[in-house]
Amino acid sequence: MIAFHNVTKSYNGKPVLENVSFKISPGEFVSLTGPSGAGKSTIVKLLIGEDRPQKGRVIFGPYEVNKLEPEEMPALRKKVGVVFQDFKLLPTKTSYENVAFALEVEGRAQWEIEELVPQMLDLVGLADNQSYFPHELSGGMKQRVAIARAMIHRPSVVVADEPTGNLDHENAEDIINLLLKINEELGATVILATHSRDIVNKLKRRVVTLKGGKLINDAEHGHYIL
Amino acid sequence: MATTFFRILKFGFQNFSRNALLSATTISVLVLALLVFNGLLVFGVAANTATASLQDKIDISVYFKSEAPEDQILELARVMEKLPEVKAIEYVSQDKALSIFKDQHKDDPTIQQALEELQSNPLLASLNIKARNPDQYANIAEYLTTENLSDIIDKVNYTQTRLAIERLARIIDTIRNTGLAVTIFLSLVAILVTFNTIRLVIYSNREEIGIMRLVGAANKFIHGPYVVAGIIYGLLGGVISLLIASPIIILAAPYADVFIPELSLTAYFFDRWPQFLTYNLAFGILLGSISATIAVRRYLKI
């Protein structure tokens, strides 16, 4: 379970989140929407412990993320897969190695890695591009590698922060379908931060809407209301 | 544990080989730093040999009156030998002085003839005294003039050579002090330049370090490969710098021989090749790994 309790966060005295509270149950597919600067990315950062709130609590399963020490972060980050707008792939590693890296740092056995990584790359449709370096891949392909990496240790939650922001319409649709597949077939909770009206309206899933750092709407089968 | 270790090694080698240009730059800087380091080692040895040979040329001689009894002279030699300032003392008897003199002038018939005509030995017995440190000749000379030795001592040649000795002592001191200062300064420059280069390599990887953290890599997985790469830089840098230094030493040896005939640079260098290699590797590896450790640490903070 994920919960934000009265979370307030400001940068240089300027509030970006004000008293935001919501809960997400396991297996949900939630879109976090709102215009740029609404606080979507801040919610993602607080959730994965990249930043701390000034007020309030951020709960992720057994963790109170806002209180975790730096050395406790790796354990948290292995339970949540994160996908970013700018992919954040390691440039000197191939697709295979980028995905394998997440397992290698977890201390998984070599045979396990050799079995799981090709399966995951196959799932995201990159079976034939395993030995390509990120600069040899298109934007859509890079995002697939990032999703494969986020999913490789079968996290219970996948957080995608504007995953389609750098992609064309077709590739964006593929990525959203991939996230749906992950939610439906693998049972992972998916939190999708996006400002794309098209995507939100097409999904017909729960929509949490933010504006100016405040939560203004939370609808079960929502659509883009701004 | 072993898996972690091998993965860190693997990532380290990948860091090294896939950032080929950065690795080559870093190694070049390290090689330059190590060349400075080798140069300083050789310069230190050359300066030491040169000052030691200069020092060895300095001594003071005490000439004894011809009627001074030999046992008194030998007694004085024994007493002086125990003085902390005295490094070596050599007794030259009248007979020995004569034979040395004859030997030195054996090709000069006038002198030979003069000596034969003289009948008696005109030369005086003497003690040649070498001090441990050139500054101490003044003390020794003073000791010889104050200790009621005027009955047996004819003259101490320190007064005549004092200026030369003092000047040499100053030169030797200056060589030692500036040598040390230059060594410390250039080592510091070499260390800082290498450190800064490695810091820049890691700075250019700061985004990667951030990504690794986000993927959940523990610090050892982020930090370890950079240290491994630092060690590889050190290893290669150490070997390459010695390979470059060797021909330079061979080329420079004839010039060095002119200034310091006591030191054969090539023999010195190649007899100690394994030591030089050890120094170079130790310096390179320590510098590489410590720089990497310090530099990565900055980006590991959350």
ipTM > 0.90 (yes/no): no
Residue B184 above 80 pLDDT? yes
B287 closest CA partner among B221, B241, B219: B241
Give residues with Cβ within 8 angstroms of B142, minimum separation 6.
none
Tell me the per-residue pLDDT of A112-145, one tens digit each, with 9 for 90 and over: 999 999 999 998 999 999 999 999 999 999 999 9
In this complex, is the C-beta atom of A43 within 8 Å of any C-beta atom belonging to chain B? no
**Both tokens of residue B235?**
């290893």
A17 closest CA partner among A197, A164, A218, A44: A44
**How many residues make up chain B in this entry?**
302
* Banded model confidence at residue B168, pLDDT cuts 50, 70, 90: confident
- Find the residue in A nearest to B2 (Cα): A107
A60 closest CA partner among A85, A82, A84, A87: A82
Among the residue ranges A105-109, A158-162, B115-119, B130-134, the one predicted with the least confidence is: B115-119
Nearest-Cα distance to chain B for A142, in Å, is 14
Q: What is the mean pLDDT of residues B221-250?
A: 92
Q: What is the pLDDT of residue B301?
A: 64
CA distance B82 to B85: 9
Contact residues on chain B for A90, CB-CB shorter than 8 A:
208, 211-212
**Residue spans per domain, chain B:** 2-54+166-299, 66-151
In this complex, is the C-beta atom of A54 within 8 Å of any C-beta atom belonging to chain B? no
**How many residues make up chain A in this entry?**
226
pTM for the model: 0.74
CA distance A184 to B41: 69
A40 closest CA partner among A67, A75, A9: A9
CATH T-level fold of B66-151: Alpha-Beta Plaits (3.30.70)
In the block, tokens 């079995």 appear at A115
Q: Least CB-CB distance to A105: which of B15, B210, B215?
A: B215
